[in-house]
Amino acid sequence: MTVAQALVALELDTLELEIDEAILTVTVNRPAVLNALSPAVIDELRQVFGALRETLGVPCDDAEDTAPDWSVRGVMLTGAGEKAFVAGADISAMQHMTPVESREYSLRTQELTSWIEMLQVPVVAAVNGFALGGGCELAMACDYIFASENASFGQPEVALGLIPGFGGTVRLTQYVGIAAARELIITGRRIDSAEALRLGLALCVLPDVAALRDAARESLRLAAAQSPAAVASAKQTTRAVRPMSTDDGLAYEAEAFAGRFGTPDMVEGTTAFLEKRRAQFLGL
Ligand code: CO8
Chain segment 146-162, per-residue pLDDT in tens: 999 999 999 999 999 99
Q: Is the pLDDT of residue 144 over 90?
A: yes
β-bridge mates for residue 191, sequence order: 153
**Counting Cβ atoms within 10 Å, is residue 258 exposed (0-12), middle (13-18) or buried (19+)?**
exposed
- Examine domains 3-224 and 228-274 and report if their fold is the same: no
Q: How far apart are the first and last CA of the chain?
A: 20
The confidence band for 185, taking pLDDT boundaries of 50, 70 and 90, is very high
Catalytic residue among 157, 183, 195, 255: 157
- pLDDT at 60 (0 to 100): 76
Confidence of residue 19 (pLDDT cuts 50, 70, 90): very high
Of the residues 16, 101, 111, 137, which is catalytic?
137
Query: What is the tens place of the pLDDT at every residue in 202-240?
Result: 999 999 999 999 999 999 999 999 999 999 999 999 999
Active site residue 18: no
DSSP structure string for 179-204? HHHHHHHHH---EEHHHHHHHTSSSE
Confidence (pLDDT) at 22: 95
Question: Nearest C-alpha to atom 54 of ligand 1 is from which residue?
Answer: 165
Taking CA atoms only, the protein residue closest to ligand 1 atom 42 is 87
Ligand 1, atom 4: closest residue by C-alpha: 33
* Residue 274 CA to ligand 1 centre (angstroms): 55
* 209/77 Cα distance (integer angstroms): 13
Q: Tell whether the torsion through CA atoms of 232, 58, 73 and 45 is positive or negative.
A: negative
103-120 burial by CB neighbour count: b if 16+ within 10 A, else e?
eebbeebbebbebbbbbb
Across 82-111, average pLDDT: 96
Backbone φ and ψ of 191, nearest 5°: -120, 150
Strands 152-154 and 130-132: parallel
CA of 177 to the centre of ligand 1 (A): 26
Q: What is residue 15's predicted lDDT score, i.e. its pLDDT? A: 98
Alpha carbons 146 and 123: distance in angstroms, whole number: 11
Q: How far lies 103's CA from each of 36, 94, 112, 211, in Å?
A: 19, 11, 14, 38
- pLDDT tens digits for range 238-283: 999 999 999 999 999 999 999 999 999 999 999 999 999 999 999 9
Q: Is the CB of 92 under 6 A from ligand 1?
A: yes
Q: Is there an atom of ligand 1 within 6 Å of 130 CB?
A: yes
Q: What angle do CA 43, 50, 224 make, to 5 degrees?
A: 125
Distance of CA 251 to the CA centre of its chain: 27
Percent of the chain, pLDDT > 70?
98
pLDDT digits (tens, 9 = 90+) for 32-91: 999 999 999 999 999 999 999 999 998 876 656 678 999 999 999 999 998 999 999 999
Q: How confident is the model at residue 140 (pLDDT cuts 50, 70, 90)?
A: very high
Three-class HEC string of 88-131: CECHHHHCCCCHHHHHHHHHHHHHHHHHHHHCCCCEEEEECCEE
Residue of the CA atom closest to atom 12 of ligand 1: 33
Any ligand 1 atom below 6 A from CB of 79: no
- Does the CB atom of residue 133 touch ligand 1 within 6 A? yes
* Cβ-based neighbour number of residue 10 at 10 Å: 12
pLDDT over 70 (residue 117): yes
What integer pLDDT is reported at residue 191 of this predicted model?
98
Burial class (CB in 10 A: 0-12, 13-18, 19+), 183: exposed
Predicted structure pTM score: 0.96
Structural class in CATH, domain 3-224: alpha beta
**Contact in structure between 51 and 19 (CB atoms under 8 Å):** no
* Confidence (pLDDT) at 122: 98
Per-residue confidence (pLDDT) for residue 45, from 0 to 100: 98
- Where exactly are the structural domains of the chain? 3-224, 228-274
- pLDDT value of position 63: 59
**CATH architecture assigned to 228-274:** Orthogonal Bundle (1.10)
For the CA of 33, the nearest atom of ligand 1:
21
Instruction: Kindly indicate the confidence band of residue 1, based on its pLDDT and cuts at 50, 70 and 90.
Output: confident
Ligand 1 neighbourhood includes 168 CB (under 6 angstroms): no
